[in-house]
Amino acid sequence: MHNNHFPHRVKPAKLSLIVMSLALAACAGRPVLVQPEPPLSFATPLPPLSVNPELGLLLGAEQRRSPHFDERSDPADISLLVVHGISLPPGQFGGPHIDELFLGTLDGNAHPYFDALRGLRVSSHLLIHRDGRVVQYVPFDKRAWHAGQSSFAGRERCNDYSIGIELEGTDDTPYEAVQYQRLARIVALLIQSYPGLTPERIAGHSEIAPGRKTDPGLAFEWGRFRTDLAAALATDQSIAAGRVPP
C-alpha cells in the first residue's frame, strides 16, 4: 500500500545542486531541463526466487497453470533458453490479457487486435512483468508452446528442448531495469539447475525464428543482460564457495 502522508519535498542539498545547474546552464546559453526527484516508493519488495528442479517450479513466482503444454520427449533435455517480448494489445502494459492468452481465456471481442488471436494456443514457461513480478504458466520439465517453427544451432523444434521466458514489452520500448535484474537472476538459477543450459545457449525469439519473429527487439540490450547474468553467476559461485553469506 502506498503511504500518502509524506509531502514531496526537494531536499536542501539537492536544491542547491539544482540551482547551481540552472546557473551554469544559463551562463552557457543552453536550455534548462530539470529532472524531478522521483516520488517516495513504498512498494512491497519482490519475493526471492529459487528453482526446484524436481517439481520444475520457480519458487517465488506466481503460479498459474496454462492448459497449453505437453510432455517433453526427453524431460532431461533442457538445453536452450529463449527470450521473448510480448504486450497485449501491442504497446499496452499492465493489463490481464497476456494471462488470458496463455490461460486460454482471451476474449476475442475485447479488442480489435484480439480477433486474429482466436483459437491460438500458446504459452510460455515464465512471464516477467514490467514491475518485476514473475508468473509461471508451465513447469520447466514440460513443453510450453512458445517457439513455434524454429531452430537453434542446426536443431529444429526448439520447444522440445527449451525454456521460454517472456518479457512484458515491445521491440522498440526500453525494458525496465528490474526486468533485466530478474531475468539475470532467473537465468542464473536455471543454469545451475539444468546442466544443458549455458550462457552461450541463450537466444532471442528472432534468432531461432528469423524472418518470422522480431522479439525481444532492438530495445532489448543483450550486453546489459549478459553483464547482469555474469554478475549473478559470480555471486552464486561465491556463495557456493562460502566466500560471501547467502
- Catalytic machinery residues: 166
Lookup result for grid cell 542446426? 154
d(CA 158, CA 122): 14
Measured distance between the N- and C-terminal CA atoms of the chain, rounded to whole angstroms: 29
- H or E segment to which residue 86 belongs: strand 80-86
Type and span of the H or E element at 240:
helix 222-240
Decide the pairing of beta strands 62-63 and 134-136: parallel
In angstroms, the CA 43 to CA 110 distance is 30
| Contact present, 66 and 138 (Cβ < 8 Å) | yes
